[in-house]
Every structure is written in C-alpha cells, then in structure tokens.
Chain A
Amino acid sequence: MNYLKEETLNALAAEYVVGTLRGKARLRYQKLMMQYQAVSDATAQWEQYLAGFNDTVEPVEPPKAVWEEIQRRLGHSASNDTSAQIVDFERAKRDRWRGLSMLSTAAALVLAVLLVVMQPAPVEDVSHIAVVNNADNTPLWVIEVSPSSMDVKVTDAFTAIADKDYELWMVPANGEAPISLGLMPEMGGDSRATPDILLDSSIAALAISLEAPGGSKTGAPTEVLYIAPILSV
C-alpha cells in the first residue's frame, strides 16, 4: 500500500506530529494509525523526537475551574450544590445501561454461540470474544481478547458513515458508567493492547456508540447503537 512506503510514512508522521497535516489528510492519517502498527509506531517515534520542544513552553497554571470541570465530567466530585443532580443523573444512566445490557444479552448470546460454533478454533490465547451485530443480527465487528491484545475485525457487512466515528465502550457489571476503549476500525481491522481494566473488571457487555470524528467529547457515549455480550471461550 502506497501509504506504507517507509519514506512517505515517515514524512507523513512528521507532519502529523508537527501539526501541519491538516483537514482531510489529518483524518485519513488518524484512520491509518488505527489500522497499521507501523503508522502508530512512526507517530510515537516523532513524538519523542520533538518532545524537547514541549519544555521550551513556559508552564502556565490552569484556572481552578478546569480541574473542577474534569472531576464533574468524570463524576468524581461530590461536595457542591450540583452534586446531588449529578449523582441522580449518573444513577439514571446506570439503570438505563443495566436494562439495556440485560435485554440484549439473551438474544445476542444465542447468536454469539452460533458464531463460535461456526468459526474455526480461536487462536490459543484468546480468552474472550464479542460479536457486534446490527439490528438485523448481521455481524459488523468481531472482537477477540487475549491477555495481551485485543483484535477487532470489520466484516463486509459494515458500511462506514462519513464524518462519524464508532466508539467502543465497556459496560461494567456493577452498574458504573461505561468506560471508553477507543474508536473502532472502519475497514480491515486493528489490534491494540488489552486495557488492564478489561481484564480486571467484571464486564456486563461491550457497547458501540456513534460519535463525531475523534470520539465522544463528554466521556460518555453519545448515541448507543449496538450492545454485545463478552463471552469466555
């Protein structure tokens, strides 16, 4: 693939990190980063090369409100007048999630079991899988989790929407707010390190939301499209 010629890739990575890769070229590059390890490696390499520039910027203390807003958005703060509302809102969201995930579990379980039976034996160290189906029960993504990596494959049934991204979420079984696991690939597939949190926590389900490019800005899913149970294999 043209993009992956080492020289081209290196020049693109440099301009991406410097910030001069703009507009559609920048969005295309971000997609490539999700698809190809070599692209994300080249990016990280340039981030290190240019990191020395960051220290030339004189530190500036952010306003106090910045930290307060971060805590509010993460649901961490609990000591002001609005906290009661936030807690209620969080609880309502949780209950909705619990309902959603329970509803979808039965139907999706049958399908996922069928799919497991139909597929060749999984790679040895894969410990969990999830299949994300659309409303017609056609699989769009297959997710395989091993202790070290999480592989996502896009099926032919998936069609990307321009100017939208799909974000993957983990729905904790204890009813806490969903946690983002990053954007979903939209062609081919990708492999990422398994987040520790996925192995440590008890998971009710995975969910996919529709988001503006770059993913949710609020830390919570914008529009949940699909829910998939995560199953041990």
Chain B
Amino acid sequence: MEHETLFPLLCKTAEGNKDAFAKLYEITSSQLYAVALKLLKRPELADEATQDAYIKIWHNAGSYQRTKGTVLTWMVSIVRYRALDLMRYHNVRNEVELTDEAAAIPDAPQAFQLGGEQQKLAACLDELDGPQRQAIHLAYVNGLSHQEVVNYLSSPLGTIKSWIRRGLQSLQRCLSL
C-alpha cells in the first residue's frame, strides 16, 4: 500500500490537491483514529487528536522525508504525539480502564500473519522477558505513564523503569541486526 498509494497521495497533498488529501484520509483514518482512541480512551478526545493530526498533515505534507520512515509511520507518529499532548492537557488517567485485553496482548502475534516490519518487531519482542515486553506494550500502545505501569503490574517504579529501558535496548539491538 505504502509505495504505490500513500506516497503519491501525500505528494499531491503537498501540492494542495484536496482530492488526494481526501483519498489519503479515506485510506488511513481508521488506523490513525484507532491509535488515538487506544491512547486517549475518550472518543471526543480521539476525534480532536485525529482532526489536529490531519490538519497538520495537510500543512506539513511537503516536509515528509522518505528516508526517515514510511508515510504511514510518519502520519501515525503525528497523531500519537498529538494524543500524548491531549492526554497531558486533559489529565487523562489510564490506570483503571485496561483490563483483560492489555493483559492478553504481550504474547507476540503469530509471525505468519504479519507484514515485514511487524514480523521483525514480533520476532524481537519474542526475545524479551515477559514483563519487559508487557511494560513496553502498555506504555506505547495504551499510553500508560511509568507510574501507571507500576500500578498495573504491581512492581516498584525503579523496576518498571529498568524493564522499559533494558527492554528497549534489547529491542534496538535485535531490530538493527
């Protein structure tokens, strides 16, 4: 999808082509919205983050650099950072609302179902210790702060910080191979 579709649409968006922008929205919005909703939990905030992200995408389409990652990664990053801003601004707390779903995720998904990027991440996540994997997942996907991960996993703050830090170091070693 990436090279055939998204990149040309983003280029046309940078030139001010509204139809290309509408198409780009049509293809990507359910992915961006889902990421925002997962982080923010509240639909009205996810709406706001998604709107802000696409406004920014419209204005900054020309500054996308292909060497720094795929179009979709660039777009999802924009909505993630906006959601993190809103989370801080509205003081969104995450500790109570996650239940079985988050607890179930840490087993890395079955590799054969996944695309290349995800497959590699899944394989590398698989090499991490269970708690490290779970802590990183809770922080990245569900938007938990260090303290919220502490509450969720019932381990001391120092331990959580070190799980995340060491987990990320191991991930990087594995992913850059």
Residues of A within 8 A of B (CB): 10-11, 14-15, 17-20, 22-23, 26, 41, 44, 47-63, 65-67, 69-70, 73-74, 76, 179-180, 182, 192-193, 195-197, 200, 214, 217, 219
Contact = CB atoms under 8 A, between A and B. Distances in A.
Interface of B: 14-16, 18, 25, 29-31, 33-35, 37-39, 43, 46-47, 50-52, 54-55, 58-60, 62-63, 65, 68-70, 72-74, 76-77, 80, 84-85, 88, 105, 109, 114-115, 117-122, 136-137, 139-141, 143, 145-146, 164-165, 168-169, 171-172, 175-176
Nearest to A44: B68
Describe A's contact surface by its main secondary structure: helix
A47 B73 contact: yes
A77 to B, nearest CB: 10
Nearest to B68: A44
Nearest to B87: A19
B171 to A, nearest CB: 7
Contacts of A217: 52
5 contacts: A18-B168, A52-B120, A62-B50, A67-B29, A73-B51
Contacts of A70: 25, 51, 54-55, 58
Contact of B14 (A53, A180, A196): A196
A74 B60 CA distance: 13
Contacts of B72: 51, 54
B105 A56 contact: yes
Given A18-B139, A74-B55, 4 more contacts: A22-B145, A54-B73, A59-B31, A66-B47
Nearest to A60: B34
Given A18-B168, A61-B30, A53 B62 contact: no
